[in-house]
Amino acid sequence: MKNGVYGILKARFLIEDDSMKNWRFIVFLIILAIIMIANTQNFEQKVFKISELTNDVKELRSEFVDRRSELMKLKMESTVSEKMVEKQIFPSTVPPIKIKVKKPVEKSFFQKIWQ
């Protein structure tokens, strides 16, 4: 047992005659570790991007609500009339009247002949 631990500490398993198997396994483990680190890095970048986009969506939604409420205030009749008073245009005191246009009745071909 003492020789086994001492052999590992001296790294004799890397320089002996059948060490090619050990080197292959070590290289495999190193490549696997690099792939895992890259995968974790990629995942974290995506999480940060999702968080940033979520914050942007919240900000844009709140801006949309603000603009919509501002538009509703501008569209109100009182606001429009106040702005028109500055230009000396006043609201009408007479209610609108619906105008009906009657289309003249066309005479048929036979009615035109008999006249």
Residue 102 domain-assigned (yes or no):
no
Output the pLDDT for position 19: 77
pLDDT tens for residues 3-26?
A: 677 766 667 767 777 778 888 888
Residue 100 domain-assigned (yes or no):
no
Residue 96 domain-assigned (yes or no):
no
Residue 107 domain-assigned (yes or no):
no
Output the pLDDT for position 28: 95
Count the residues in the chain: 115
Residue 38 domain-assigned (yes or no):
yes
Output the pLDDT for position 91: 81
Q: What Rg do the C-alpha atoms of the chain give, in angstroms?
A: 43
Residue 94 domain-assigned (yes or no):
no
Structural domain containing residue 6: 1-88
Output the pLDDT for position 12: 72
pLDDT tens for residues 33-42?
A: 999 999 999 9
Encoded tokens for 99: 């105008």
Residue 97 domain-assigned (yes or no):
no
Output the pLDDT for position 42: 97
pLDDT tens for residues 66-106?
A: 999 999 998 998 888 888 888 888 888 888 899 998 888 88
**What's the number of domains the chain is made of?**
1
Output the pLDDT for position 56: 97
Handedness of CA 104, 105, 107, 108 (dihedral sign): positive
